[in-house]
Structure 1
């Protein structure tokens, strides 16, 4: 017999939204990028869900419970990346994995260029875009937790287990016997705890979820323009930092101290885009349609980048074949699915409401 009060409906929707986010995180973060150049990633997908999916879901749940908006997601996304690359893969300090030590300078034993590329990439593609898309699919839950307290504990535990599984599976086969220095891991844990406190206690007070905007605001380019800007920014950021080849060998540009130049340009590009979208998102003219186009441009851009890299620096026939077939198919599927999402959003009453991810007071 059904629930006459409908009390279970929000809980069921929350469960569907949670699973959607848990799947979108590894899809956007890995399958649409790494899998184009590393076909094995398609087989590894189920193992990515506990770490990627649960980790990003935890970031989203903590942000909503703290009353935060996208700035909180960004800071917690940084914590998420440090957990993955610092504790899970330990690629931040490994001199072997992904050839990360060759990408650029090593500062205090940390592969700095690799870290810059990964933190920018994961904040956008593993956290912000999956959360944005999930919010668009479940708009009534944008500012609501998906779980009660017990569920949050379960998700946190799953994320920790995911990091542990990542540590004992992939790294031993790539860099056997390597263990990040214990002082580094202890310091990293302190940094992560400090950033988490800052994200949940300080950032929401400075950048809370704003009320609906009224009155005129900053003019915003059309949605297609935002899509092109996001695509170009993605290609520029990745092109400045990601070395050529598979496995990557670096640096992408320059030698010695000259490597700091593209790193600085990439950082300025990322900060500039952040400020630009902050300006646009403060306007009532910024709608969910703009957000969909921006997300689509970024997603197409990072898949296109990997296709170009594989074709310019081929490894073997299988990898090239996957890049020429799966890559364009992923781009086509991205465009089609986001177009369907845009139509679905436009058909809703009050469709101009903007996303919690891009809104800014």
Structure 2
């Protein structure tokens, strides 16, 4: 009898950690991809991960949970990701408006003086967060638990805890950078940022349930989808810091949007294609991290070692996710 009770307790404990695993995974994968894999933060500062995770991972979890709880899909996740990116860059770290954020000139590339920002960096920051800090980590973690891909991962209490962590994390980032940067955006800039973010959230829920009817058409193989995702995201990442670069980035966004909408209408479109999209973008940051590290002047071997570790980790995670996804279709 006692042995049976012990087995039951062990099973319950195992089930608890299995349920919690994707939550913890997304909580930390979001900042790991969005900052460390990118090369924006060095492996020397890995100690900062627990302080970044509440804002990054908390935001990704909130977006994922709200979307899945309301029965919506990827259009909602992406639009909410754009709202997240705008709030982070415009309100919390204020890199969108700070002319010398962390010692870098973020205003001279395609400047819009009336708004006090760079069109190039606004696009890079907001879309970058929507894709790499939010959408890519969600897609990869969901692929690791295919049987729980579209269901909530936490209850009401857990959802509330995540929301509080996100607010605390965002306030921490704001306070920390305020003490370092000594910069505060103007009230019109802050209000405009909040208004646009609210509008994006409204649009996300307005269009979230809309879906195009499936049609009998040929769907590209996942490897082709992933290759095109890798190429297009790489071109987006490497676009020149100019108005021409802004136009090129917008063209790439439009092209990718049209392609995905067309591809996803085919009856053969499935989770392997979605993972391929995310994987292509993930691999762009894997090589992009080496480039950014060099551009930031980090020449010590420890930074290169960090790039190798993060890139290898990303590739291994993608392989595991691909195997999991493939098994779910066998």
Q: Which bin holds the TM-score, normalised by the shorter protein?
A: 0.7 to 0.9
In structure 2, the CA distance between the partners of 1:41 and 1:227, relative to structure 1 (3 Å rule), is farther
Q: Shift of the alpha carbon at 1:92?
A: 1.2
Q: 1:298-321 CA deviation, whole Å, 9 max, x = no partner? A: 21212212313444x472432xx2
Q: Shift of the alpha carbon at 1:47?
A: 1.2
Candidates 173, 180, 183, aligned match of 1:178: 183
User: 2:170 is matched with which residue?
Assistant: 163
Q: 1:99-152 CA deviation, whole Å, 9 max, x = no partner? A: 211232134123321110011211111111111112111222222122222322
Give unmatched runs, 5+ long, in structure 2: none
Tell me whether 266-275 or 150-159 shows the greater mean CA deviation. Answer: 150-159
* Aligned Cα root-mean-square deviation (Å): 2.6
In structure 2, the CA distance between the partners of 1:114 and 1:61, relative to structure 1 (3 Å rule), is same
Check if 1:291 corresponds to 2:298.
no
Candidates 318, 323, 343, aligned match of 2:323: 343
Higher helix share: 2
User: 1:356 is matched with which residue?
Assistant: none
TM-score, scaled relative to structure 2: 0.87
User: 2:231 is matched with which residue?
Assistant: 232
Check if 1:191 corresponds to 2:173.
no
In structure 2, the CA distance between the partners of 1:158 and 1:329, relative to structure 1 (3 Å rule), is closer
Query: Does the Cα contact within 8 Å between 1:14 and 1:141 map onto a contact in 2?
Result: no
Give unmatched runs, 5+ long, in structure 1: 242-251, 253-258, 352-361
Candidates 51, 57, 67, aligned match of 2:55: 51
Aligned-partner SS, 2:239: helix
Equivalences for residues 89-108 of structure 1 within 5 A: 89-97=93-101, 98-106=104-112, 107-108=114-115
In structure 2, the CA distance between the partners of 1:194 and 1:290, relative to structure 1 (3 Å rule), is closer
Q: Shift of the alpha carbon at 1:240?
A: 1.0
TM-score, scaled relative to structure 1: 0.80
Aligned-partner SS, 1:346: helix
Query: Does the Cα contact within 8 Å between 2:38 and 2:286 map onto a contact in 1?
Result: yes
Equivalences for residues 329-340 of structure 1 within 5 A: 329-340=309-320
User: 1:270 is matched with which residue?
Assistant: 253
In structure 2, the CA distance between the partners of 1:19 and 1:115, relative to structure 1 (3 Å rule), is same
Candidates 149, 169, 194, aligned match of 2:156: 149
Check if 1:75 corresponds to 2:79.
yes
In structure 2, the CA distance between the partners of 1:324 and 1:41, relative to structure 1 (3 Å rule), is same
User: 1:138 is matched with which residue?
Assistant: 145
Candidates 121, 125, 145, aligned match of 1:118: 125
Candidates 281, 291, 299, aligned match of 1:317: 299
Aligned-partner SS, 1:219: coil
1: distance between equivalents of 2:195 and 2:168? 20
Aligned-partner SS, 1:52: helix
